Copies of this chain bind each other. A is one copy, B any other.
Amino acid sequence: MNIANRKLDHIIIALSKKIETSDTLLKNIQLIHQALPELSFDSINTTVEFLGKKLSAPLMFTGITGGHVYAGDINRVLAKVAEENKIAIEVGSQRAALVDPSVSWTYRVVREEAISVPVIANLGAQQLGDKPVEIAEKAIKMIDADAIAIHLNVAQELFQLEGDRDFRNILKNIEILRNELSVPIIVKEIGYGISKEVASALVKAGVKYIDVAGAGGTSWIKVEILRRKLRGEKVDLPGIYEFYNWGIPTALSIIETRSVSSEIKIIASGGIRNGVEVAKSIAIGADIAGFALPALKEAARSKECLDRYVRNIIMELKIAMLLTSAKDVEELKNVPIVFDEKITNWLSQRGIDPIKFLENRKIKKFS
């Protein structure tokens, strides 16, 4: 099966099946209402700088697609909305275009439409081969990217029919890219989260941008199992339910990653669906929030739908900021919040003191 067909399978399953499992645990974090914000709604400032450009809000579309005609259409819609709303956009894995340059237009549309906002290239960590820099630069150049995301998708590969199951030397390649590329590198998961152990290894390797993509949103294991079923393959793993819920919940992954360093930029993603969740993500340590599945769904309906969705999320974020008395994103990073017992219990066992974590939030400026 060629890559394009596999990618189309993914889109079809994502659009037609329930593929969200687990729980982000963002519901287990409470923002504290402040009845006296002493702010005007219109003066709430949601702008942030990201990859040297200014976003209207701390939001991005994370990598979704590319490589076939329909993907090109989707990408154009995503890019138009990103540009109009001034938020960042990441393309899907560019492997298809590296293998078959005739489909590279399905990625290039993104840069064509999203002129002024950060556009992020995307490759799988296992697709870097022996010449990682060369391949990555090709992907970057293809869309004139502001950064490149390298995705770690071990769990997905394992459940994929055609999966590549050798996950060695990835860290070394990441370190090489981080040193030699022309643009910054973002390391991202795709729905199982970054642990503090992994965050720590990445920070040591010099990585400055991590997209946690934790559990609670799109479950790739479920997608791949559904795809196998679609193809008529029998799947009778007794523990499949446990793998459907595999992964570090997004909220915990953000905190674990932030506990490792106050110097890195963290993208919260995996099950982020509304502006209150964006606000919570930032209040616990993220810099910006991303989402893929809902962006795909809305884009598949129409540009107008996606546009309204994004505007609504920004609206909710502003409301949440006003109601917690945060005049800008820096202040949002330090508003009072409360963790429930599930979260405090997890953090304590992971060597993170919940109270201290909250007190230390005044995160240093990223330079």
Q: Which residues of B contact A313 (CB under 8 A)?
A: 238-239
Residue contact B338 to A341, C-beta cutoff 8 Å: no
Binary B-proximity of A318-345 (CB < 8 A = 1, otherwise 0): 0100110100000000001011111011
Contact for A155 among B33, B39, B243, B275, CB less than 8 A: B33
CB distance from A301 to the nearest CB of B (A): 12
Instruction: Flag whether A53 is at the interface (Cβ < 8 A).
Output: no
Interface size on A, residues (CB 8 A): 74
Residue contact A316 to B237, C-beta cutoff 8 Å: yes
Q: Which residues of B contact A247 (CB under 8 A)?
A: 33
Binary B-proximity of A133-177 (CB < 8 A = 1, otherwise 0): 000000000000000000010110011000001111111000000
Q: Which residues of B contact A344 (CB under 8 A)?
A: 345, 349
Residue contact B237 to A312, C-beta cutoff 8 Å: yes
Q: Which residues of B contact A276 (CB under 8 A)?
A: 239, 242-243
Q: Which of A13-21, A192-200, A260-268 makes up part of the contact surface? A: A192-200
Residue contact A197 to B158, C-beta cutoff 8 Å: no
Contact for A273 among B34, B202, B238, B348, CB less than 8 A: B238
Q: Which of A59-67, A73-81, A89-97, A350-358 makes up part of the contact surface? A: A350-358
